[in-house]
Amino acid sequence: MLRHSRQSLHNGALHPRTFRHHSTTSNRETPENSHFLPLEHAPFLAHVRMTPPRQVACYSRVDFNVYNYNENSSLTRFEKPKLGPIALPARLISRKRMTELHRPERVDQLLQACLGTEKGKKALLEADVIAPRNVIYKLMHGLKVSLNVSYTAGRLFLEEHEEKILYKLPRPRLVAEYCMRFKCRSPYYQPPNSYPEDVREWNAVVQRNIGGLNTLMSAHVHCVKDKYTASPDCYFELHSRRVGSSNTYPFHLQKNDVKDLAAWYLRMHLIGTPELCLGLRSPDNKRLVEMHIIPTDELPSIINDFQRSQNWPNWQPDGYITRAFRTLYLLRDWAQEAVDSLQMKPVKGQKNDEMVWRVERLRHSDRGIYVRELSREEKDRLWAVRDRPLWEGLGQTLPRRHGIIDRASLRDLRQLDRETLDSVEPAAPLKAAVGTGKYIFRLLLRVDKTERPLPGDSVTLNLAVDPRQLEFVVFVFPGKTTLPAGCLWSYRVWLRTNQVDHRLFGDDELWIAKDPDFSCITDASFARLRNVSTTSQTYEAIVGRAKINFIVR
């Protein structure tokens, strides 16, 4: 059992308290041998800042277990359909084929794609969380989900656990999922004839900062609307539902389908998809009777118009984003401290980068998540049951894994980290991250043993000096009056080189529960305001190891 203290931001401010990861009572059924992590120990932010999404890599699925990285052979283009009969390839109806198509996404393909491009390598160096989009979407929506989680090379990896029943939908829903995708798109590039049409998928890897957590997501993109620009602004989604009989619901949807608008918005908002095409089918599912092009930004207002017509409260997407951020923050904090504890007290036969946790969230539960570490036998069974027959059928060997990623990808990722660390030598400028002579600066706040990134983009500078001998100037001063008092601070950070100060960071909303402790910083010189009168100000300073009082009159 891990026991540690931490500070957490609650209701807008950080409050120190003892935080123990242990099983607690709950009004719901608790998974056996699991630790319950309450979400109240994660930061609570009324508004989670999100940076604009950026595509850093892509990959094409051309057959079962066959992927082409950073090429567009499976990319498709939107074609406006004609209203009329719907034709669906008969081979898609096979339950076995549909099961394979709906297996959970893995992080293996995401890593391979990022390791093949300079943008992807830079994104990996900055990443805090790496996961398929579906994982983050389910955390946002509060859906019941079971995840496999690893913390390796300083990054949190998440995958959806493959349940026994992968895909179970009736025939009408099957048509709803696929008819629009085959009726409304055509290949962007002409792929080889050997690629089966019903298996091809094009996936984008998108980088986005969510509340200070640099997140890498892989997501299936249905098609592009016009020209492919290697940016999320060209993505386009296709959806289909049966037409309703009432005009009171948006776009003539049925009552039970209105909630899908919120789900589509969350999924599209995560990766920055700007528009979707909604096709409405006849009640017998044989004809396309209506089609609507809907901008993503208009979906919340459309949903709220419907909510008001039913005398229901407004739908607030910010709450969903906050829920996902708090869960990711809590998981990353838990995993990091678990790995650090194992490094301090090693267990024979156990490596910290091979730890895998099963994370379970109960449906619509905002109280917390359940976490338990998998045994060696459970880890061996994770992928062998379903993956081994598929790999052996292709004449390949199932790759060995560290945590939930294969060893080859982890080896390449560690090599990338080593090259970046070695590049601080003056003779070897940073090549793996952004290019010759350029360096990336990121700002983190350490509270006790926990580090969290502060909001704001990283800064890239050209340096002509030794990066191991940099001097920083930091101003931290009280901000606006708050309750509780003394928790809101402002900060400014400059880099001083050749007697010139270069502004790097600045913000006026830094929440800290107690006075910052500058004495814990090695080689720091600082002055703190101790007394203010009408005629003077008294500062207590540390210069080197000497204590000096300054009186300003």
Q: DSSP string of 6-55?
A: EEEEETTEEEEEEEE-B----SSPPPTT-EEEEGGGS---SS--BPPPEE
User: Tens digit of pLDDT for each residue in 52-63?
Assistant: 999 999 998 887
Contact 208/217 with Cβ under 8 angstroms?
yes
DSSP result, 520-540: GSTT--EEEEEEE-SS-EEEE
Amino acid 503 reads R
User: Tens digit of pLDDT for each residue in 139-150?
Assistant: 888 888 888 888
**Whether the predicted pLDDT of 226 surpasses 80:** yes
**Whether the predicted pLDDT of 346 surpasses 80:** no
Q: Which of 155, 206, 457, 125 is nearest to 332 (CA)?
A: 155
Instruction: Centre a 10 Å sphere on the Cβ of residue 540 and count the other Cβ atoms it contains.
Output: 14
User: Tens digit of pLDDT for each residue in 275-331?
Assistant: 998 888 887 777 888 888 999 999 999 888 888 888 888 888 888 888 888 888 888
Percent of the chain, pLDDT > 90? Answer: 11
Pick 177 or 20 by higher pLDDT. 177
- Does the CA dihedral 380-385-387-391 come out positive or negative? positive
Secondary structure element (H or E) that encloses residue 290, with its range:
strand 287-295
The SS3 call for residue 136 is: helix
**Whether the predicted pLDDT of 87 surpasses 50:** yes
**Distance of alpha carbon 274 from alpha carbon 146, whole angstroms:** 30
**Distance of alpha carbon 135 from alpha carbon 148, whole angstroms:** 10
- For the entire predicted model, the pTM comes to 0.69
What confidence score (pLDDT) does residue 198 get? 64
What confidence score (pLDDT) does residue 270 get? 92
User: Tens digit of pLDDT for each residue in 374-422?
Assistant: 887 777 777 665 666 666 665 666 666 666 787 788 888 888 877 765 5
Contact 129/155 with Cβ under 8 angstroms?
yes
Tokens in use for 534? 């009408």
What confidence score (pLDDT) does residue 371 get? 87
CB-based burial label for 367 (10 Å; 0-12, 13-18, 19+): middle
Peptide bond between residue 283 and the one before it cis (omega within 30 degrees of 0):
no
**Distance of alpha carbon 458 from alpha carbon 331, whole angstroms:** 23
What confidence score (pLDDT) does residue 130 get? 92
Contact 120/56 with Cβ under 8 angstroms?
yes
Which of 206-220, 397-411, 439-453, 487-501 is modeled with the greatest confidence?
206-220
User: Tens digit of pLDDT for each residue in 257-289?
Assistant: 788 889 999 999 999 999 998 888 887 777 888
> φ and ψ at 258, to 5 degrees?
-65, -35
Which residue's structure tokens are 């339950």? 95
**Distance of alpha carbon 204 from alpha carbon 33, whole angstroms:** 37
The arithmetic mean of pLDDT across residues 98-110, rounded, is 77
Give the residues across from 224 on adjacent strands: 77, 235
DSSP state of 549: E
Tokens in use for 92? 């898609």
Which residue's structure tokens are 């050997």? 194
Dihedral (C-alpha) 495, 496, 497, 499: value to the nearest 10 degrees?
160
Q: What stretches of 272-344 show up as alpha helix (H) in DSSP?
A: 299-309, 317-344
What confidence score (pLDDT) does residue 95 get? 58
CB-based burial label for 234 (10 Å; 0-12, 13-18, 19+): buried
What confidence score (pLDDT) does residue 176 get? 57
CB-based burial label for 15 (10 Å; 0-12, 13-18, 19+): middle
- SS3 of 435-471: the string is CCCEEEECCEEEECCEEEECCCCCEEEECCCCCCCCE
Q: Which of 187, 169, 160 is nearest to 75 (CA)?
A: 187
User: Tens digit of pLDDT for each residue in 153-179?
Assistant: 788 999 888 765 555 555 556 655 666
What confidence score (pLDDT) does residue 278 get? 87
**Distance of alpha carbon 460 from alpha carbon 439, whole angstroms:** 6
| Total number of residues shown for the chain | 553
CB-based burial label for 520 (10 Å; 0-12, 13-18, 19+): exposed
C-alpha distances (whole Å) from 87 to each of 100, 172, 184, 246, 517 are 22, 13, 11, 27, 68
Instruction: Centre a 10 Å sphere on the Cβ of residue 315 and count the other Cβ atoms it contains.
Output: 19
DSSP state of 258: T
The arithmetic mean of pLDDT across residues 30-50, rounded, is 75
User: Tens digit of pLDDT for each residue in 334-345?
Assistant: 888 787 777 666
CB-based burial label for 87 (10 Å; 0-12, 13-18, 19+): exposed
- Does the CA dihedral 331-333-336-342 come out positive or negative? negative
> φ and ψ at 376, to 5 degrees?
-60, -40
The arithmetic mean of pLDDT across residues 75-84, rounded, is 85
Contact 199/106 with Cβ under 8 angstroms?
no
DSSP state of 548: E
Which of 217-221, 354-358, 497-501 is modeled with the greatest confidence?
217-221
Tokens in use for 523? 């080689």
**Helix axis angle, 118-126 relative to 407-422, nearest 10°?**
80
What confidence score (pLDDT) does residue 305 get? 86
